[in-house]
Amino acid sequence: MKDLLDQMCRRVLRHADDKQLETAIPRLAIGAFRQPEPTFTAVAAGVCMVLQGAKQMMVGKKMLRYGAGTCFASLIELPTTCCIFEMDGDQPYLGTGLTLDHALFTALIADMPEEPSKKEFLGFHIGMVSREVLEAWDHLLALLDTPKDIPILAPSRERELLYRLLQSPHGPLLRQIAREEGKLAQVRRAIDWMRNHYDESFPIETVAEIAGMSVASFNRHFRVATSTSPLQYQKTLRLQAARRLLASDVDATRTAYAVGYESPSQFSREYSRLFGRPPKQDASRLRENISDISSVVV
């Protein structure tokens, strides 16, 4: 499979500047990182694959590491994550990611034979990819070299890639995207609500009711899906939103109130604890490197 990975690396290097880039192909991103310093980014629902180098990623309290030829899939937007991109000697880290389209996945799964229900996964999964997945992903990446073909060929090549992913070890996780029932679907409903109300104070009973669970059951299944607690997830959402405001030149005190903090000093302490720098200092660095707050998965 090294031949395919090398070919995909060459394609990415022809089109990627430093950091991350959304491409002309819908939902497809590519990335090249040449500095191994930590980056803080939201991980959206999607699938990403390392083509060269390796990636360390902190999800909740779990440290994950995966290298070339390994794929990470997530059905939910995970908490702000510290990523460290590892170089391959003097060669940059290279990756590619695909944001999941719910409607496309649901339609594809409906056309495929049903599979017996299996034990539910976490909200994410890591595994090596097959040659079939690599070939399908390479077919999609190849359209970067012939942009006039993208409107006609990209839909069928994306469908091919999704089909191969559904046949891979990621399949049991990815099939859950079409389900409206099950614990992961219930947690996703609560997360969608929390993302729209992160700046409000609310009791845990509210989100447990939205998920259709008891408080004890919700806490347990939320932690399984996200590797963190609902309270910590909301705090991370707030700090993530604060980082975007700071990058757009909003001062720290106004930012603290805007994202739901009643105490600017508490905001500063929690921000520094998560991002490693106080708000004002981090804001200056962010404006020099705006890609640090991207939510593209690579």
How much is the average pLDDT of 248-276?
92
Domain layout of the chain by residue ranges: 2-178, 183-293
At residue 293 the predicted structure's pLDDT band, cuts being 50, 70 and 90, is: very low
CB 218 within 8 A of CB 207: yes
| pTM for the whole structure | 0.80
Give tens-digit pLDDT for 203-236.
999 999 999 999 999 999 999 888 889 999 999 8
Give tens-digit pLDDT for 103-123.
888 889 888 887 766 555 567
Q: Partners of 76 in the beta sheet?
A: none
Q: Partners of 19 in the beta sheet?
A: 32
Among candidates 175, 111, 168, 102, which has minimal Cα distance to 135? 168
Give tens-digit pLDDT for 16-70.
866 667 899 999 999 888 877 677 666 778 899 999 999 988 887 788 889 999 9
Instruction: Spell out the CATH class of 2-178.
Output: mainly beta
Instruction: Spell out the CATH class of 183-293.
Output: mainly alpha
Helix/strand/coil percent split, the chain, to 5: 50, 20, 30
Q: Can you give the pLDDT at residue 294?
A: 44
